[in-house]
Structure 1
Amino acid sequence: MSNKAVANRYAVALFELGQEKGQVDQFESDLELVREVFNETPELLKVLRLPGLPLEQKQELLTRSFENNVHQTVFKTISRLLELGRFMIIPELAQEYKQLNDEIKGIAEANVYSAKPLSDDEKQQIAVVFAPKVGKRALEINNIVNKELLGGIKVRVGDRVFDGSVKGQLDRLEKGLLAGN
């Protein structure tokens, strides 16, 4: 089974526990914290990967790092993943969990490509305009600067793309001219 599939199974189970306990958002922020610690502390991952280090010592390291910083249910989950040798799926687990929570809330992630960085007001306006177009209540905007666009924006939400960039308009004009339209 792929890491993504395993991460999804754990995310669904943890999400259901979060719903039962009324801690869905807390679990999401805790998973994000664990993911950030792993990303920013590669030494921790190296130690946890050492085959010669006993599981008890690895668990102790995990306990000192997270037990008092995350909800007990999240801690038990990452501890169990360590026991099973699957702690490397934690970044994917955090992402899958966030997607489940966002889906329930009606939130989607949008990549907005622009020729220059967007202001917070511009991001908010884009979210307000495009959220209903993709059937969501809100959008989380990730601004990606791409100087090749010349102007305008290109919005990608999931597999839907809305291209209002000058480059996109020029490309469509070129195709039309070449097709004889």
Structure 2
Amino acid sequence: MISGAVTNRYTEGLYGAAKDSGVVDAVDISLQEVAKALDSNPDFRVFLEHPVIPAKAKKELVGQVFGQAAQPLVVRFLDVLIDRKRAAYASAVAEAFHRRAEQERGHVIVHVESAQPLSEAETQAIRQKLASALNKEPQTIVEVNPALIAGYRFRIGNRILDATVRGALQQFSQKLTASGAVEEGIR
């Protein structure tokens, strides 16, 4: 199980080292590539996370796969994760590092769920409203989720703003249940 506290500790350590070396952008790009490689190659992930495979073999493979392509600090960081039997944290650290780097750049990542596909004009209007509300430049990731019925759901970090019909119906149902309303036909 991935722990947020462990992820944050490794992320902050790596971010501090990258900032001190002036390579935050390069580390961010390399970490995103590592995460893509792990997500697209389940066998590679299993190999790195397997408790019986020796750390030396894992580090050799990481060197072969990422040695020339990735920022050297990222390769050293992966070696540390392997030595400490924390390779399972690589993707979580990549995501947290990216959020941290975007935050330092004055950007914020906003996941937008919509019941219907959005036009470019609608997406731009949402982006402008978010920018004025957050006082930061939002990087929006838009997903279509027909189960929402209508409206939007925004996720910024661990905060969620639900302005959907489905969310309103769920809140209404919870209020009815909490106030003692009995479902019809059930006693």
State, as a whole percentage, how many aligned pairs show the same letter.
24
Q: Secondary structure at the match of 1:131?
A: helix
Contact 2:149 2:166 in 1 (8 A): no
Residues 1:101 and 2:94 aligned together: no
Flag the structure with more relative contact order, 1 or 2, with Cα contacts below 8 A and sequence separation at least 6: 1
1: CA distance, partners of 2:111 / 2:76: 34
Contact 1:111–1:142, Cα closer than 8 Å, also in 2: yes
- What residue number does 2:142 align with? 143
Question: What residue ranges of structure 1 are gaps of 5+ in the alignment?
Answer: none
State the 1:36 CA deviation: 1.0
Shift of 1:152: 4.2
**Residue 106 of structure 1: how far off its partner (Å):** 2.2
Give, as a single letter, the amino acid of the residue that structure 2 aligns with 1:90: A
Partner amino acid for 1:108? V
Alpha-carbon spacing, 1:137–1:63, altered in 2? closer, same or farther (3 Å): same
Structure 2 vs 1, CA of residues 78 and 120 (structure 1 numbering), >3 Å: closer, same or farther?
Answer: farther
Pairing 1:77-156 to 2, within 5 Å after superposition = 77-133=77-133, 135-156=134-155
How many matched pairs? 172
Once the two structures are superposed, residues 29-69 of structure 1 have per-residue CA deviations (whole angstroms, 9 ceiling, x without a partner) of 11111111111111112223444433222211111011111
Q: Which moved more, 1:37-46 or 1:151-160?
A: 151-160
Q: Which residue of 1 aligns with 2:183?
A: none
Mapped partners of 1:143, 1:105: distance in 2: 21
Range with bigger deviation, 16-25 or 148-157: 148-157
In the alignment, is the contact (CA less than 8 A) between 1:4 and 1:89 conserved in 2?
Answer: no
Match runs of 1:60-75 below 5 Å: 60-75=60-75
Secondary structure of the 2:53 match is coil
Measure the CA separation in 1 of the matches of 2:34 and 2:18. Answer: 16
Higher alpha-carbon deviation: 80-89 or 153-162? 153-162
Specify the SS of the correspondent of 1:144.
Answer: strand
Unaligned runs of 5+ in 2: 177-187
Cα RMSD (Å): 2.8
TM-score normalised by structure 2 residue count: 0.78
